[in-house]
Amino acid sequence: QTENNGDTTPPTVTSVTPDPSAGVVAQDVAFEIAFSEPMDPISISEFSILLEDIQGAQVPMALSYDEQTQVATATPAAPLAAASRYELVVNAFVRDAARNFMVGERTYTYYTAYEETAETAALALKWAPLIYQELHSVGGLDWRYDVPTRADFDGDIVASNNKTNALLAPSYKASVYYHVTKTSTQTFIYYVLYYPTRALVSSDSGNRVQYEHDLTGAVFVVDNASDELLFVEGVRTEDGQDILISYLREGSGVDIPGSERIKGRFKASELEGGTRYRMYVPSGRHEACYWQDDQPRPPLDICRHPRGGYSDQGALLKPGQAQGYADAVQGADGPEFEYGLEPLAQIFWLRRDSYGAQGLFERGFTYRPDGDRPAGPDEDTRLVLPNRLYSTDQDSFGSSPFQWLVQGTDNNPGQWMIDPAWTLTRRYSLPQGLSWSQDYCDNLFLSVTACP
């Protein structure tokens, strides 16, 4: 029989610091676990207090116990990865000084912060596009269906109520997600636009039907040596058949072999201030088109609009502070207001395993790249990426950027976002003399940070 001096009460955890409900934590965090009574120091070990990463792997930690305060301290051996989820587990192997084991285990979820460097934020702002956003209606609050915003615009990390809350949220502001990946030769800047709905015309009734969620976006490819925009590859997202819309800068020497591609050209002189590309987004079925290109691209009749004009009505969104239509002022091409820039990593990457009706995504999938390319930050860790935003609608268009395909015949979702330096060379011909490295010096998803 265990000697316990009459004490048969099992210990409990009275508090954990940092508070898991407080939001994100620093990468160099240390955890403090306070117990209800004096503990057996021998039981405070790597077998009783564990930290697991998003893959379920145990993170090495140093553990100590202060008998005076009854607090155990767990310090990770190395800084945690940015923008990732961790679970701190205190299990039933901990016991008090009377050798009573704790009943059950306690699990605490934490998210590490993601801080954009000043250089990355400046790059995203420098090349952020002018968005000529077509609006089907500006009456009442219907304009919200056609203005890009944050996926958590309504203040919660729940995607299944976004269509409803689009017209109910007290504040609705224009925002665009961005992400920057770099090699020594090119910079790839992604701009991803989220809308609470996609509107399609019903073949039965002829009326516009609002389906929950919609995303579109483009990758801007900048040559580091010349500091020039080489080309922009836009996307119209579909489930399993994403449509690529390419615009190449005249004189860049970049081309797409064959005639089946949807492509156009823009002039460097058409970039406002030398860097601001003029993106046009139609109402309803949002596509990353070009403002001064009015030609539908066969075989798909998309991006049709008057050159430099709207098919219906619209507003010009400029990078700046997040604003709504009520903040619009009259400009040369109609109403103008600003959109805020939001790092994609702060939600689409940080919350990539937030699944189910009370989360963001339906489920995750394992990233399997083509071309014998890296599948994760190391040989043992494959990336698990979110498929699409959760919805209870039968039809939804919430395919996350991590699910967008290179083209419909490929089976490598995620590689367009994870590995652009390799992916884009598969379909673009590059001019002789243009240096193009496929080795990253800055790639968050592959844990590469070696840019000078």
Which residues make beta-bridge pairs with 429?
Answer: 255
Give the residue from 153, 139, 116, 134 showing the smallest Cα distance to 216: 134
Q: What integer pLDDT is reported at residue 301 of this predicted model?
A: 65
Q: What integer pLDDT is reported at residue 98 of this predicted model?
A: 94
CA atoms within 13 A on the CB side of 182: 15
Q: Which residues of 19-28 are buried (b: 16+ CB within 10 A; e: fewer)?
A: ebeeebbebe
Q: What integer pLDDT is reported at residue 60 of this predicted model?
A: 96
Secondary structure of residue 80 in the 3-state scheme: coil
Give the residue from 229, 170, 176, 159 showing the smallest Cα distance to 386: 159
Cα separation, 275 vs 127, whole angstroms:
5
Q: What integer pLDDT is reported at residue 221 of this predicted model?
A: 98
Cα separation, 326 vs 321, whole angstroms:
14
Give the residue from 179, 282, 289, 286 showing the smallest Cα distance to 234: 289
Cα separation, 162 vs 391, whole angstroms:
9
Cα separation, 203 vs 200, whole angstroms:
9
Decide if 321 contacts 309 (C-beta within 8 A). Answer: no
Q: What integer pLDDT is reported at residue 236 of this predicted model?
A: 81
Q: How many CB atoms lie within 10 A of CB 265?
A: 18
Cα separation, 212 vs 199, whole angstroms:
9
Q: pLDDT of 65-76, one tens digit each?
A: 999 999 999 999
Question: Environment class of residue 203 by beta-carbon count within 10 Å: exposed (0-12), middle (13-18) or buried (19+)?
Answer: exposed
Q: How would you write the pLDDT of the chain (452 residues) with one tens digit per residue?
A: 345 677 899 999 999 999 998 878 999 999 999 999 999 999 999 999 999 998 888 999 999 999 999 999 999 999 998 888 899 999 999 999 999 999 999 999 999 988 888 999 999 999 999 999 999 988 889 999 999 999 999 999 999 999 999 999 999 999 999 999 999 999 999 999 999 999 988 777 778 889 999 999 999 999 999 999 999 998 888 766 788 888 999 999 999 887 555 678 999 999 999 999 999 999 998 999 999 987 665 556 678 888 898 988 999 999 999 999 999 999 988 999 999 999 999 899 999 989 999 999 999 999 999 999 999 988 888 899 999 999 998 888 899 999 987 665 567 889 999 999 999 998 899 999 999 999 999 999 999 988 88
Decide if 44 contacts 35 (C-beta within 8 A). Answer: no
Q: pLDDT of 324-375, one tens digit each?
A: 999 999 998 899 999 999 999 989 999 998 999 999 999 999 999 999 999 9
Cα separation, 173 vs 153, whole angstroms:
8
Place of tokens 């030398």: 274
Cα separation, 234 vs 216, whole angstroms:
8
Cα dihedral: 211, 215, 216, 219 (round 10): -170
Question: Environment class of residue 179 by beta-carbon count within 10 Å: exposed (0-12), middle (13-18) or buried (19+)?
Answer: buried
Sign of CA dihedral 277, 338, 134, 413: positive
